[in-house]
Structure formats: C-alpha cells, structure tokens
C-alpha cells in the first residue's frame, strides 16, 4: 500500500479550518473534536512531561478506528502537522504540536483476553496497569515495562522491555499482529504472514509507519504472585554493591531481573527516618519462576553488603508493576539521557557514583536496566529493534519542578551522558530519547536496520506525514 505525498515545509503552519469543515467533521466522528476553549482540549494537550506546553489547533479524541482514519485523511488533505498521543508518557513530548492536528488515542481502552489461545487484543490507549489487570485475572502476562502508567502502544512500538523480558523477550517479540492506519488512510493488517515488511518495521520503529489501532499479543503463564521487592543499600557502599551486582547478574537465571536505582531516598515506611532524603542504592528485582528456585537465585544479591532494608518477598504481579509509579507521577519537568552498555566496568561504576553524589534535585535518579537473557538470543535484524547484544541500559532520569531549574538539571544529565559515552555501545533505546536527539535516530537507535526502515518508510509514508516522532526519513 503506497501513497504519494509531499508535506515537507508545512511544519509551523497553524490550521485555521472553516466552520463548515469543522461542522462536517464533528458529525462524522464517534469520538470528540476539541478546539481551544472547549471541554476535553486542555486534558488532551496536557501530557506527563510538564516541559511540553503546546497548543494544537484541534484535537480529535478517537473512539475507534474510523475516527483514526478520518483524522489521518484530514491531516493529509489539509497538509497538517499530525501528532499522535497514546496512553502513557513519551519523554520527548511528540504527542503534541503547536498549531497542528492532535490525534488522541487515550479513549481507546479495550482489552480482550482469550485464555484458551493465550492471546490479547489491546487498543492503543491502554496502559500497562489496565492490560495487566485483565490478563492477570487468568494468570497470564506479556513482557511490558516497569511502570504501570506507561502506555502499551508507545512501549510496544519502541521495542518494550521490563521485568519479564529476560524470561520472555521484548514486548515486540511477543507481538503477533497489528491493525495499522497508513498515511493513505487505509486500514491494513500486519503480521508475519501479511504485510510482513510493515510488521517488521513497527516492532521497534516507533510511530513512523502508521497509527496502530489494535495490537495482538502472545500471553504466558505468569503470577498472579511473583517474588519481588527492593533491597536498599547506603550509598557509601555503592561501589562494593555495584561490583557485586555485576558478578551476580552474570550468572543470574533468565527468570530473574534485577534493576539498580540510585537516588535520594523517598520517605518509604520501611526506611528509617534518618535515611530519608539521603542518597541510596536500590536493587529492584522480580523473579517470575518457581518460588523456591527464586529464593536461591536471589541469595547472591541478598549477600551483597549490609543493606538498610530488604523487602523482597511474594507479591501480586499487578502490585509489583505499580511499585515504582510514585517516582514517575505526571506534572513534573523531565529530561532523560540514555546509554546502552555490554559491560559495567569499574570506570563506569566510578562515574555513576560521582554523578549520583551531586543530584541536582531530590527527584533525579540514575537507573540501570538489566537485560540479556532471551532478549539477546534474537538476531539483531529479526525486528526493527536492533540492540540484541546489550546487557545494561543506563538511564539518567532528571526530574524537577520549576522552569528556573531547567539549565542546571539538563546540564547535569548531558555532562554525565558525555562522560559515559566511552563506556557505551553508541546505541540507544528509542523510547528513552528526548526531543533534542535527532542525530541519534539513524545509527544510535536503529544501527544495521536503519536503511531497511528508511526504504519501508518511503513505501508506506513517502511524504513523512508521521514525522512527529523520533523520525525515520523516507529513503530517497
């Protein structure tokens, strides 16, 4: 399916639709058309990252696939800048653009579980909490992220990894099919047997190729109870713990995932008051296998140092997915930088410790995502997501409240990013990229897969209608 468009140069123009166009559009939609000053407009344009304050000319709050098709056709026919909002975060803020058309998918919330085939049909406005709640009613899950307010659509389109990925692969490794509205306005089905190129591209290629209105996932027996929790260490022992952590993860079974969070301690009830507000190192772990085996797998991590608190134990999987939610509440200013690492060497550890020792605000943190396992047993070219040699993802998560702090917080993150580069692969997970990293899209985000992605972009979206994203430009 192809379409011939040329929308280059239309960015920055503000749409000023005639009243008859608006009236006709309202009558066609099952969802809502929201203009500035109308109900729903402020809710739709206000997103998780408070640094993003943009005003689209109009918002279509889609109720179904037909609304998505009408929005795409409208944007194409009127040469509008089209931005697409799913159900979750998006650090870059690409969901909103000034003066353009915003397509808000967050009202599309259907989740349908088929326990007999162990599959799920999920609409693009669904969050991890909503998906997990339905799937866990049958003791089933698919690999998603680590925060329940994340949107399933954006997570999936970027690749998707979390607590279950070492055991079950990436989110895209468990995607069976998708329904996609193309730049032409046509609805197509993409799977291993139908529109195979498009199916390959959307498994990591972001929102570059169309708007997905339905995802079909493979489900696996998980929970409803897992072995999970936190082990909190004083930051004075960070080097010893990180070196021990490096040894422990090297032989960890695939069922175990252990992430590291370094930040100032929030006032958690199981931490003594004298620790609140002080730097700590936290091991956050989840074991998704047999409980008795899990206790043995976790033992090497429990043996590290002298922790302040150990609250690892049996927990509902749905509850564990929500454990870190308070660290990612909406309405704060956010800027992230990220590196992929194969090894966590001593020099990298020293740099991590020195950087955390001067956090610019109490909400800032650096975390180390633990990958490997099944994720790394898939060839790099099997999906658009290429980073199949990565064992750790280091993410600098900078959060603050006032615009006056912007310069200091962003400078802190950028300085660490630059100094960590010699220890990293040069690759980056596209979902962790801020808006100012366009130069990293080609080789950093997609590496050996970029040229094929660019050719597929030229086939499915030659006019680059879907460009409010970490953009893959059409080949030629």
**How do residues 292-347 score in pLDDT, each as one tens digit?**
899 999 999 999 999 999 999 999 999 999 999 998 899 999 999 999 999 999 99
367 forms beta bridges with 261, 395
Q: What pLDDT, in 10s, does the model give residues 185-231?
A: 999 999 999 999 999 999 999 999 999 999 999 999 999 999 999 99
Question: Which range marks the domain in which residue 54 is found?
Answer: 19-104
What is the band of 11 on the pLDDT scale with cuts at 50, 70, 90? low
Do residues 131 and 232 both lie within one domain?
no
Same domain assignment for residues 349 and 400: yes
pTM of the model: 0.95
Q: What is the model's pLDDT at position 322?
A: 94
Evaluate if residue 182 carries a pLDDT over 50.
Answer: yes
Residue owning tokens 């006019």: 463
The residue among 180, 338, 153, 146 whose CA lies nearest residue 259 is 146
Residues 217 and 290 in one domain: no
In 55-100, the DSSP E strands lie at 58-61, 82-85
Per-residue pLDDT reduced to its tens digit, 102-121: 999 999 999 999 999 999 99
Could you tell me if 206 and 138 lie in one domain?
Answer: yes
**What are the start-end ranges of the E strands in 288-420?**
309-310, 313-316, 333-341, 365-370, 392-400
The answer to the question of residue 473 being in a domain is no
Examine the fold and report which residue of 104, 124, 153 is the final residue of a domain before the chain moves on. Answer: 104
Contact 370, 166 (CB under 8 A): yes
pLDDT score, position 13: 64
Tell me the average pLDDT of the chain: 95
Average pLDDT over residues 34-54: 94
State both tokens at 164. 């279950």
Residue-level pLDDT at 18? 82
Is residue 4 one of the residues assigned to a domain?
A: no
Query: Residue 8 domain-assigned?
Result: no
- Maximum C-alpha span of the chain: 70
- What is d(CA 329, CA 79) in angstroms, rounded to the nearest whole number? 35
Residue 10 confidence class, pLDDT cut points 50, 70, 90: very low
Give yes or no: residues 289 and 433 share one domain: yes
Segment 415-435 shows an average pLDDT of 97
- In the chain, the number of structural domains is 3
* Virtual torsion, Cα 358, 361, 362, 366, nearest 10 deg: -60
Residue 269 scores a pLDDT above 50: yes
CA distances from 400 to 49, 329, 334, 404, 405 (A): 10, 11, 7, 10, 7
Asked whether residue 309 is assigned to any structural domain, the reply reads: yes
**CB-side exposure of 175: number of CA atoms within 13 Å?**
36
- In the numeric block, which tokens belong to residue 99? 């003066």
Residue 3 located in a structural domain: no
Residues 278 and 411 occupy one common structural domain: yes
CB 145 within 8 A of CB 157: no
DSSP E strands: which ranges in 171-311? Answer: 175-181, 187-191, 211-218, 220-221, 225-234, 256-264, 279-287, 309-310
133 with 83, same domain: the answer is no
246 vs 10, which has greater pLDDT?
A: 246
The average pLDDT across 256-276 equals: 96
User: Are the C-beta atoms of residues 107 and 61 closer than 8 Å to each other?
Assistant: yes
- Structure confidence at residue 348 (pLDDT): 98
Pair 124, 177 in one domain: yes
197 and 165 both lie in a single domain = yes
Nearby residues of 124 by Cβ (< 8 Å), 6 or more positions away: 86, 87, 105, 108, 151, 152, 153, 211, 212, 213, 214, 215
Residues 174 and 256 reside in one and the same domain: no
């Amino acid at each position: 399916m192809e379409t011939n468009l040329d929308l280059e140069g239309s960015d920055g123009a503000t749409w000023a639709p005639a009243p008859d166009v608006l009236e006709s559009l309202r009558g066609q939609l099952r969802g809502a058309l929201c203009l500035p000053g109308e109900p729903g407009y402020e809710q739709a344009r206000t997103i998780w990252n408070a640094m993003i304050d943009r005003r689209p000319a109009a918002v279509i709050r889609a109720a179904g696939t037909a609304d998505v098709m009408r929005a795409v056709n409208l944007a194409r026919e009127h040469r509008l800048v089209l931005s697409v909002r799913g159900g979750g975060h998006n650090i870059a803020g690409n969901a909103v653009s000034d003066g353009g058309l915003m397509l808000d998918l967050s009202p599309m919330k259907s989740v349908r579980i088929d326990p007999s085939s162990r599959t799920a049909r999920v609409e693009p406005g669904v969050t991890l909490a909503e998906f997990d709640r339905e799937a866990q009613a049958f003791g089933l899950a698919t690999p998603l992220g680590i925060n329940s307010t994340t949107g399933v659509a954006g997570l999936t389109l970027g690749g998707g990894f979390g607590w279950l990925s070492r055991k079950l692969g990436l989110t895209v490794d468990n995607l069976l099919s998708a329904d996609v509205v193309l730049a032409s306005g046509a609805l197509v089905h993409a799977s291993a047997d139908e529109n195979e190129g498009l199916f390959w591209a959307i498994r990591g290629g972001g929102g570059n190729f169309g708007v997905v209105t339905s995802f079909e996932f493979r489900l696996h027996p998980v929970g409803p109870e897992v072995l999970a929790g936190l082990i909190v260490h004083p930051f004075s022992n960070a080097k010893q713990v990180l070196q021990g952590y490096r040894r422990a993860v090297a032989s960890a079974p695939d069922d175990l995932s252990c992430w590291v969070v370094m930040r100032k301690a929030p006032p958690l009830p199981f931490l003594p008051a004298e620790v609140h507000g002080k730097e700590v190192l936290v091991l956050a772990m989840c074991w998704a296998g047999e409980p008795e085996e899990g206790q043995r797998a976790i033992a090497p991590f429990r043996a590290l140092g002298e922790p302040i608190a150990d609250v690892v134990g049996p927990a509902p999987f749905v509850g564990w997915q929500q454990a870190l939610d308070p660290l990612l509440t909406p309405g704060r200013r956010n800027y992230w930088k990220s590196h992929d690492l194969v090894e966590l060497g001593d020099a990298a550890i020293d740099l991590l410790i020195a950087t955390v020792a001067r956090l610019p605000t109490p909400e800032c943190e650096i975390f180390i995502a633990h990958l490997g396992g099944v994720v790394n047993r898939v060839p790099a070219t099997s999906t658009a997501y290429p980073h199949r040699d990565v064992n750790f993802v280091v993410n600098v998560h900078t959060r603050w409240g006032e615009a006056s702090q912007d310069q200091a917080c962003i400078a802190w993150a950028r300085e660490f990013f630059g100094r960590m580069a010699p220890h990293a692969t040069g690759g980056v997970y596209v979902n962790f990229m801020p808006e100012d990293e366009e130069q990293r899209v080609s080789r950093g985000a997609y590496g050996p897969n970029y040229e094929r992605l660019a050719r597929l972009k030229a086939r499915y979206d030659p006019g680059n209608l879907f460009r409010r994203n970490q953009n893959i430009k059409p080949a030629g």
